[in-house]
Amino acid sequence: MEKTENKRKGRLKYVLMGIFFTAVFIYMVIFMSHFFWLSLPFMFTSWALAADYI
């Protein structure tokens, strides 16, 4: 039971991080920032970590 609860909390954390960094990426692309690629590693890493918790 505790292990399942910890997995949910961990997954939620990484999903929220993924949503945040995806929003940052989209915002930077819309406003033509030349540094949008800086958010890509964070976005992909957080989504990959969230997928590990499935």
Number of domains in the chain: 1
pLDDT, tens digit, 9 for 90 and up, residues 2-52: 566 666 777 888 888 889 988 888 888 888 878 778 888 888 888 888 888
Q: Report the predicted TM-score, pTM, of the whole model to 2 decimal places.
A: 0.70
Alpha-carbon gap, residue 24 to 36, rounded angstroms: 8
Alpha-carbon gap, residue 34 to 19, rounded angstroms: 21
Q: Give me the helix-helix angle, 2-30 and 40-52, nearest 10°.
A: 160
Structural domain including 19 reads: 2-52
